[in-house]
Amino acid sequence: MPRLGFGAFLAPHHPIGEHPMLQFRRDLDLVEHLDRLGYDEFWCGEHHSSGWEMIASPEMFLAAAGERTKRIKLATGVVSLPYHHPFNVAQRMVQLDHMTGGRVIFGSGPGALASDAHTLGIDPMLLRDRQDEAIGIIRRLFQGERISYRGDWFQLNDAALQLLPLQEEMPFAVASQISPSGMTLAGKHGIGIISIGSLSTEGLNALPTQWGFAEQAARKHGTTVDRKNWRVLLSWHIAETREKARAEARDGLMRHHNEYITGTLQRPGAKPFTDPDEAVEKTAYGPGAVATIGTPDDLIARIKEVLALSGGFGTVVGFVHDWANPENTFRSWDMVARYVVPEINGYLAGLRRSREFVAANREYFDRAREAVMAKITENESAAAALKATRSQYLAASASNLPDFDKQRG
């Protein structure tokens, strides 16, 4: 079974009221924490409005994160390509790749917030075509081409990068929601995908057909796509018990939904929750629930369910939110690393087989006990000491320790 990667995606989780400087530092602390726990990837994106997300430049944030981490991949989730000249994006990503020692994943999108496009005076109907156009140019620049190009919104005159990426092949990924556009774009360019729409019931139900759009586009354009480069986004909060997880997440979940999803974004069809219990029940336990608020076992079951539903993908990416306070949020990610990751990837199978072998094959170990007793009884002092031995609960783990009560009898 292929190993499943695990990553984290920094969500719209900055409620107004906390000092921005401290929020940035807390987010960097989280990346450092995830790196120590062995997570594979960390994603953060670009936003310019709404009040809930402050990172305007994911490249700047990830450069700082690169100095505090050692092995975790650092991904832009995403750079909104229509907002930038493609040459500038290419240069920033190359610099980031060198500064982080070749740990960059280049994730791009058309722009998540309509308010951002409005701020910059860009017609939303142009966003996806511009993203497509920019990806093609950036890939050519990364390959060392010198390009002259004139488009509707940018031009290049004998443009070539002074530095190429440190990685021989910097990974590309595009954001995909419910429509086929993201998957189709990934297939056209033969690059990876991060499915953000899986956070909704509609997006989760669409997963079985989504991959087909990527494969169809790849065949049309003579490229290839691989499920190992498909990332699926899920939401969770994990604790030792379901009751504890619910208690930790309920108030923050309600605030996130009522104040951001319905109050700020005014997402079609979204209705505010009446109380925190309803928030938890409908988000994680009711019909169509897509989040997991519970124990490691609950998340293991959910990941296996989504793997089966989708037909398989390469990395599961968790949504980093402020449902719980910082301490419990960090604890949740710790528990996923300790208990969910090894179970999903089979890291414990060998240990379990070893334990079962020792427990089931007693003949050899009984013979070893006899050997120990033979040596004890050969020595008068040792035999005398055996009579004074009172407890069978010795501070030793050797399986060849004899039954002292039986021997004294």
pLDDT, residue 165, reads 98
Grade residue 258 by pLDDT with cuts at 50, 70 and 90: very high
For range 364-391, the mean pLDDT = 72
- Residue 248, pLDDT above cutoff 60: yes
- Residue 368, pLDDT above cutoff 80: no
- Residue 90, pLDDT above cutoff 80: yes
Grade residue 14 by pLDDT with cuts at 50, 70 and 90: low
- Residue 375, pLDDT above cutoff 60: yes
Q: How far apart are alpha carbons 252 and 17 in whole angstroms?
A: 14
Q: Is the peptide bond before 78 cis (omega within 30 degrees of 0)?
A: yes
pLDDT, residue 13, reads 67
For range 247-254, the mean pLDDT = 97
Q: Which of 147-175 are b and which e, b meaning 16 or more Cβ less than 10 Å from the residue's Cβ?
A: eeeeeeebebeebebeebbbbeebebbbb
Lowest mean pLDDT among 117-121, 196-200, 319-323: 196-200
pTM equals: 0.92
198-239 pLDDT per residue, tens: 778 788 888 989 999 999 999 999 999 999 999 999 999 999
pLDDT, residue 18, reads 85
- Residue 288, pLDDT above cutoff 90: no
67-80 pLDDT per residue, tens: 999 999 999 999 99
Give Cα 18 to chain centroid, integer Å: 25
Lowest mean pLDDT among 82-91, 128-137, 163-172, 205-214: 205-214
pLDDT, residue 358, reads 87
pLDDT, residue 363, reads 78
- Residue 153, pLDDT above cutoff 70: yes
Identify the residue with better confidence: 131 or 2: 131
Lowest mean pLDDT among 162-171, 189-198, 219-228: 189-198
For range 330-345, the mean pLDDT = 98
Identify the residue with better confidence: 367 or 255: 255
Q: What percent of the chain lies above the pLDDT cut of 70?
A: 92
